[in-house]
A and B are shown apart, each in its own frame.
Chain A
């Protein structure tokens, strides 16, 4: 039976390609500039809207001013912990713009596939966000004359949890639901930190923060691997 099916299938032979097709391919290869991974990231950087960087810069500047006006250390921790995840919301806004505008096709002029473009974009966002987060933590530490590591712990933990949540949302939700999910996650994070701020920021509870950061990092790695394996919901391999 299988052989019969094979014989029937073999009756369909596609037409021969044009004789010039192979030569055209080799000619096209000669005109193609080789892109290194860094070059690819650089071209992707060019596609990110400057408005997004401006919005992140404004957020950072606003936080920088606010940390010097907060009445106490606890309020600074709360401010940074609950508002820094907005950096991610701004990232998601740019991703949604790209999806909704159907612009990934234009951006595919680099001849890379969709998951590679998405991965490069997320990598760029991640690198810039962590740099901005470091600056915000440094500003907070300077304002409070506190240890930078403490500030980093309080900023990084909710931010990393948000990152893991956003990656899960990218994997599971449609592009039009992404922004809402990111905003809800930010509000939920802010609400939890606000409600529990009294016990949370006591020095004796730092081991809890360290454990939470470790869990958040594990979740982030897990979600990154899942995203790499399964792709973004709207551009799977």
Chain B
């Protein structure tokens, strides 16, 4: 991969990786840092990337590892301390905040499968490849996460 290809890759996938990191950590600045680290790590490991799968999925793997490393090191953050995020339309604002809180309440691995499946459209087999897991394990985690989300978002789901 040369510099031009890398720039194209950044152009194509920056938004997806940033959104993935942002939904994990619920912080714009931090998500930008993690996204930057993801692409830089991809660049440094480009020799080992053999085009066996989509580059985007490889980026999700790196981003997931970085997010997990960050969660291991961080001190607990309370929901009240999370910054305001004004991007959702005001009608959906309360629901969006509830979703953000519900996602933050999920264990890391459950949140990871929810993000990859619901927001990034990956199938169980693809998530298994991204997270170095198995399809049955991913399906189990997804079911568990959905149960937790239904419980946490009872009001929003009506």
Contact = CB atoms under 8 A, between A and B. Distances in A.
- Do A and B come together as binding partners? yes
Interface of A: 2, 4-6, 8-18, 21-22, 24-26, 28-29, 32, 34-36, 105, 111-114, 237
B44 A111 contact: yes
B43 A29 contact: yes
A25 B32 CA distance: 9
Nearest to B146: A5
A188 B69 CA distance: 36
A25 B40 contact: yes
A194 B100 CA distance: 63
B18 A17 contact: yes
Contact of B87 (A16, A18, A26): A16
A115 to B, nearest CB: 9
Interface in B100-144: 100, 103, 114, 118-119, 132
Contact of B19 (A4, A14, A22, A105): A14
Name B's interface SS: helix
Interface residues on B, range: 35 or more
Nearest to B65: A113
A21 B34 CA distance: 11
Given A5-B157, A11-B96, A12-B88, A29 B39 contact: yes
Contacts of A21: 14, 18, 32, 35-36
A11 B95 contact: yes
B39 A25 contact: yes
Contact of A8 (B11, B31, B40, B99): B99
A113 B157 contact: no
Nearest to B18: A17
Contacts of A2: 146
B157 A12 contact: no
Contact of B36 (A14, A15, A28, A35): A28
Given A5-B146, A8-B153, 8 more contacts: A15-B86, A17-B14, A17-B35, A21-B18, A21-B32, A29-B3, A32-B40, A113-B69
Contacts of A18: 28, 32
Nearest to B100: A12
B119 to A, nearest CB: 7
B28 A111 contact: no
A237 B64 CA distance: 9
B1 to A, nearest CB: 11
Nearest to A105: B73
B157 to A, nearest CB: 6
B149 A5 contact: yes
